[in-house]
């Protein structure tokens, strides 16, 4: 803990004076983060560090397993963060970011290890669809390492699906005002993979290429609309 306290002292004494104007501007103008990032609470996975972002750039929500519980009547911290980011802050991009060597995914693979952690076990139920996908849709006989990797990637896709059940997200998607991204950070290589919704797979984010998107922003309404409405005009 001493290092952390020392860090505050360094920040106050050496860093903040050079950034004071920026912080004051962020208070004066309010925050306008570019994206909401939902990442794992793992200490090695810092969204700000990976994206080299600064204060005011990212609205961040972190929890064990980068999980988004599907929308329900029950109030929750993740649901509130999503609603606030979309409705109040008007973010146009939401990223769900998983990572390699994820302890939550290991717990999902070894439920007996969670016997003394009933809350974690209950929380990870939101990832059971990913387990079932890996069990049934992937080849048998995969090594535990490969299974873990597949599980962590499929978990990102499952959480993207859960994200779409939130009314604020569903409405912003229908209006074509929101894009969804699924990322995966490989701690050991520093590589970030992005889920390409079109191809249905993760690909490495390459400097030369446009970053693949899980769901692009395109207005969509299922029902016929009256002439002159937004959706008809967009057809």
Q: Between 156 and 194, name the residue whose CB sits nearer to Zn ion.
A: 156
Instruction: Output the smallest distance, CB 103 to Zn ion, in A.
Output: 6
Contact between 60 and Zn ion per CB under 5 A: no
Cα 86–chain centre separation:
14
Q: Between 36 and 102, name the residue whose CB sits nearer to Zn ion.
A: 102
Contact between 154 and Zn ion per CB under 5 A: no
Instruction: Output the smallest distance, CB 195 to Zn ion, in A.
Output: 17
Tell me how far apart the alpha carbons of residues 193 and 211 are, in angstroms, rounded to a whole number: 9
Q: Which stretch binds Zn ion (CB under 5 A): 32-40, 85-93, 180-188, 194-202?
A: 32-40
Number of H helices, E strands in the chain: 10, 6
Q: Name the phi and psi angles at 39, rounded to 5.
A: -125, 170
How many residues bind Zn ion (CB under 5 A)? The answer is 4
Q: Between 159 and 173, name the residue whose CB sits nearer to Zn ion.
A: 159
Tell me how far apart the alpha carbons of residues 39 and 66 are, in angstroms, rounded to a whole number: 5
Instruction: Output the smallest distance, CB 160 to Zn ion, in A.
Output: 16
Of 76-105, binders to Zn ion (CB under 5 A) are 102, 104
Q: Which stretch binds Zn ion (CB under 5 A): 31-39, 41-49, 53-61, 202-210?
A: 41-49
Of 102-121, binders to Zn ion (CB under 5 A) are 102, 104
Q: Which of 42, 47, 155, 156 binds Zn ion (CB under 5 A)?
A: 42
**Nearest by Cα to 187 from 64, 97, 120:** 97
Tell me how far apart the alpha carbons of residues 7 and 13 are, in angstroms, rounded to a whole number: 10
Contact between 40 and Zn ion per CB under 5 A: yes
The first and second tokens of residue 163, run together, are 């994200």
Q: Between 42 and 154, name the residue whose CB sits nearer to Zn ion.
A: 42
Contacts of 80 (CB under 8 A, 6+ apart): none
**Nearest by Cα to 161 from 138, 180, 142, 184:** 180
Q: Which stretch binds Zn ion (CB under 5 A): 35-43, 73-81, 187-195, 219-227?
A: 35-43
Q: Between 43 and 74, name the residue whose CB sits nearer to Zn ion.
A: 43
Angle at which helices 144-163 and 128-137 cross, to 10°: 130
Kindly give the residue spans of alpha helices, DSSP state H, lying in the chain: 2-10, 16-29, 47-50, 77-83, 103-109, 118-123, 128-137, 144-163, 167-174, 230-234
Instruction: Output the smallest distance, CB 69 to Zn ion, in A.
Output: 16
Q: Which residues bind Zn ion (CB under 5 A)?
A: 40, 42, 102, 104
């Amino acid at each position: 803990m001493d290092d952390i306290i020392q860090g505050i002292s360094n920040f106050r004494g050496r860093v903040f004076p050079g950034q004071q104007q920026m912080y004051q501007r962020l208070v004066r103008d309010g925050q306008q983060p570019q994206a909401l990032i939902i990442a794992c609470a793992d200490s090695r996975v810092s969204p700000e560090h990976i994206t080299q972002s600064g204060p005011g750039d990212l609205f961040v929500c972190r929890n064990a397993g980068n999980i988004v519980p599907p929308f329900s009547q029950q109030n929750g911290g993740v649901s509130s963060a999503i609603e606030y980011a979309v409705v109040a802050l008007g973010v146009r991009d939401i990223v769900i970011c998983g990572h390699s060597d994820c302890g939550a995914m290991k717990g999902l693979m070894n439920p007996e290890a969670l016997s003394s952690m009933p809350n974690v076990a209950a929380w990870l139920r939101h990832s059971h669809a990913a387990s079932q996908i890996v069990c049934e849709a992937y080849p048998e006989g995969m090594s535990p390492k490969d299974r873990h990797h597949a599980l962590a990637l499929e978990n990102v896709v499952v959480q993207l699906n859960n994200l779409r059940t939130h009314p604020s997200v569903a409405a912003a998607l229908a209006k074509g005002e929101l894009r969804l991204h699924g990322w995966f950070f490989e701690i050991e290589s520093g590589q970030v993979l992005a889920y390409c919704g079109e191809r249905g797979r993760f690909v490495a984010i390459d400097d030369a290429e446009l970053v693949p998107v899980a769901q692009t922003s395109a207005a969509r309404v299922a029902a016929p609309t009256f002439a002159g409405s937004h959706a008809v005009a967009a057809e």
